Amino acid sequence: MKQNRLHSSKRRTGRAITIVVGSCGSILVGCGPQNFMAAGGPAAQPIAWLGWFVLIAFIVATAITWGLLLWAALRRRGTYETHASIDDDGGEGWILIGGFLAPVAVLTMFFVVTLHILHRYPMDEGQGSPEIHVVARQWWFNAHYRVDGRPDLEVTSPTEIHIPVGRPVQLDLASDDVIHSFWVPKLHGKVDMMPGFTNHVRLQADHPGTYEGQCGEYCGEQHAHMRLFIVAQTPAEYVRWLDAQRAPAAGPLDPEAKHGAEVFQAAACPMCHTVRGTAALGSIGPDLTHVASRRTIAGGSIRNDMANLAGWVTHAQTLKPGAQMPNITQFSGEELRAVVAYLQTLH
């Protein structure tokens, strides 16, 4: 009996330690791929410095406070009567210094350091011509790439924004409906995307890779499913990607995908989606000309694979309630398979 109780209390202590260590670990690791404390470019660097400075100052202040608390708790033991009277000039200095002067000093230090870092933050006033125009919508980001100012050469890339690595890229940020916020924690601070107003950022990634982002301002039901990916590539890869995106959709070769293309064109799909090189010219939903080249669908909320494409076509309102994409329930199983096969040929 006693043994059992001892075991269960040991187990409880073990579990408590696991929870404490686990939570500290997750705080320190941050949000993984969206950890702003691990900067991937010059605009994120000052924010990361500020984050580390505040974290370390917080740990030091907490350690001092707990140290004093423990000291006070362990310092003297005795009865109530044996202690000095509380009115006996006891501890006014402590209250003045610990309760007033120390917090004022610490908060003033944070204020001055924050002002200093804000002053050094690379602001972009929008001089020069933007390379990429990003428009936010409920609930996805659409990147428009202009080529030599020629509208006929414009391509759009939903959810994935490719940039060349190692140099600043100027982005214009706007919104088509409500206020959203452009936020790629490893590369830049949050910047609002507002209807009727254009903001500018200079985005730079120092290393090739994919940087995850997220809408940073509550914008409705599916705010949490409004993600984005910055794909930083070497200049040569970036040019290759842009050239591939500029090309119209390749016609499907195998019979199933060919059938899928016919089903796609005959259904409501072309009213909302564009597939360049075909009669589909809708602009409500994402451009599907190269949908198979993207890693996710539905504003970055699900992986781009056969099962999710079929699920998205038939049950968009279950996967992302409130999205503009309706449930398309008119297809037979064979037609649905063909449409998905067609979408997967659009590289």
Summarize as ranges the residues that interact with ligand CUA (CB under 6 A): 136, 139, 180, 215, 217-219, 223, 226
Nearest to ligand CUA of 190, 200 (CB atom): 190
Nearest to ligand CUA of 36, 140 (CB atom): 140
Question: Minimum Å distance from CB 122 to ligand CUA?
Answer: 24
Question: Minimum Å distance from CB 88 to ligand CUA?
Answer: 58
Residue written as tokens 């254009």?
A: 198
Nearest to ligand CUA of 215, 249 (CB atom): 215
What is the token pair recorded at 230? 């910055």
Question: Minimum Å distance from CB 141 to ligand CUA?
Answer: 8
Question: Minimum Å distance from CB 302 to ligand CUA?
Answer: 17
SS3 249: coil
Nearest to ligand CUA of 135, 163 (CB atom): 135
Question: Minimum Å distance from CB 202 to ligand CUA?
Answer: 22
Nearest to ligand CUA of 46, 300 (CB atom): 300
8 A C-beta contact, residue 171 and residue 41: no
Question: Quick one: DSSP state of residue 248?
Answer: P
8 A C-beta contact, residue 289 and residue 280: no
Question: Minimum Å distance from CB 220 to ligand CUA?
Answer: 7
Nearest to ligand CUA of 136, 309 (CB atom): 136
Burial string for 98-130 (b: 16+ CB within 10 Å, else e) reads eeeeeeeeeeeeeeeeeeeeeeeeeebeeeeeb
Amino acid at 161: I
Beta strands in the chain (DSSP E): 132-137, 140-147, 150-158, 160-164, 169-175, 180-182, 191-193, 199-203, 209-214, 227-233, 296-297, 302-303
Could you give the count of Cα atoms lying within 13 Å of 5 in the half-sphere of its Cβ?
Answer: 2
Question: Minimum Å distance from CB 178 to ligand CUA?
Answer: 7
CA atoms of 297 and 291, how far apart (whole Å): 8
Nearest to ligand CUA of 144, 223 (CB atom): 223
